[in-house]
Amino acid sequence: MTDASLTTVPHSDATAPAPTHGAAPEASALDVAHLRFARRDRLVLDDVGVELPRGTVGALVGPNGAGKSSLLHVLAGVERPDAGLALLGGDDLAVLRRRERARRIALAEQETRDARTQGLRVADVVALGRIPHQGAWGGDRAADREVVARSLEAVDAAPFAARGYDELSGGERQRVNLARALAQEPELLLLDEPTNHLDVRAQLVTLDLLRRLAADGLTVLAALHDLGLAASYADHVVVLAEGRVVAAGPTDRVITASLVRDVWGVDAEVTRHPRTGRPVVHYLGIAR
């Protein structure tokens, strides 16, 4: 492999650690301990712990099959863990009612075409994000419409709000999935590969948006394959390998050449960006 350096330069507002608002900086928004999850007889998450302060952008990285999507599913309540504790703002997720959980946690996945979205317009798909906030007779329609419009604008999807969701390109659909999650107005935003399918500008727009939302107090945990983007944008990195957390902490301490070699089997050089001081990953080739 040749030197495929990842030298993403975050926008200026994305270089400083996200400020925390309201809660004391040391208060963990998300606090996961000893999480264990098996699929059939296969242990997928083993003694996983994650701590993310409120207002943090966390990147969840690791090789294929490491358990990243599974962890996001468990946190979102799509899957039930076999053991362990997950707290959000001190509340045990295992005892939260489904509806409250859906108000507080949103999961944006890559592929969300299902029976619920079939035949819907983009704006209607985003409006699905309002359901946890609505009563039996629907919600405050005008307020919901405003949140939907804002969410569409945030991801640059307003121009195609009236199009059919099934007709969108992969990148357009990815942005709409994020808008639907934003319309939930959650405290914790979980994202599975949010930059997949996106062109380079759309990737940076998405990550800039996540940083701005975190600055307003949202806690973000995003599974990312692109270590360069994680290095440029995340405050905190959690590294999963074979279902276990093998490293976690502030981005500049976690992303090192020895980590890339040990976890991905790839030789790399990690330098500091001359302007931002953030790590820059230069891939050198497959480790022999």
| Measured torsion, CA atoms of residues 213, 219, 225, 227, in degrees rounded to the nearest 10 | 80
Strand ranges (E), 217-265 = 219-223, 236-241, 244-250
Segment near ligand ATP (CB under 6 A); pick from 60-68, 92-100, 177-185, 203-211 = 60-68
**Does 154 contact ligand ATP by CB under 6 A?**
no
Site string for ligand ATP, 220-259 (x = CB under 6 A): ----------------------------------------
Nearer to ligand ATP, 61 or 102 (CB): 61
**Does 44 contact ligand ATP by CB under 6 A?**
yes
Segment near ligand ATP (CB under 6 A); pick from 66-74, 89-97, 119-127, 267-275 = 66-74
Q: How far is Cα 110 from Cα 181, in angstroms, rounded to an integer?
A: 12
Out of 19, 25, 65, 250, name the contact with ligand ATP by CB under 6 A.
65
**Does 39 contact ligand ATP by CB under 6 A?**
yes
Out of 58, 67, 129, 228, name the contact with ligand ATP by CB under 6 A.
67
Task: Quote the least distance from Cβ 110 to ligand ATP, whole Å.
Answer: 9
State the amino acid at position 200 in one-letter form. Answer: V
Task: Quote the least distance from Cβ 285 to ligand ATP, whole Å.
Answer: 21
Closest of 45, 5, 72 to residue 224, by C-alpha: 72
Out of 54, 68, 130, 211, name the contact with ligand ATP by CB under 6 A.
68
Out of 57, 66, 76, 198, name the contact with ligand ATP by CB under 6 A.
66
Q: How far is Cα 170 from Cα 213, in angstroms, rounded to an integer?
A: 24
Closest of 78, 19, 65, 34 to residue 235, by C-alpha: 19
Nearer to ligand ATP, 68 or 101 (CB): 68
Nearer to ligand ATP, 152 or 240 (CB): 240
**Does 80 contact ligand ATP by CB under 6 A?**
no
Which long-range CB contacts under 8 A does 281-284 form with residues at least 24 apart?
281/5, 281/6, 281/227, 281/228, 281/231, 281/255, 282/3, 282/5, 282/6, 283/1, 283/3, 283/4, 283/5, 283/6, 284/1, 284/3
Nearer to ligand ATP, 113 or 163 (CB): 113
Half-sphere exposure of 130 (CA within 13 A, CB side): 23
Out of 20, 28, 56, 70, name the contact with ligand ATP by CB under 6 A.
70
Nearer to ligand ATP, 21 or 39 (CB): 39
Polymer length in residues for the chain: 288
Half-sphere exposure of 282 (CA within 13 A, CB side): 8
Task: Quote the least distance from Cβ 140 to ligand ATP, whole Å.
Answer: 37
Half-sphere exposure of 132 (CA within 13 A, CB side): 19
**79 φ/ψ angles, rounded to the nearest 5 degrees:** -125, 150
Task: Quote the least distance from Cβ 195 to ligand ATP, whole Å.
Answer: 13
Q: Which residues bind ligand ATP (CB under 6 A)?
A: 39, 44, 62, 64-70
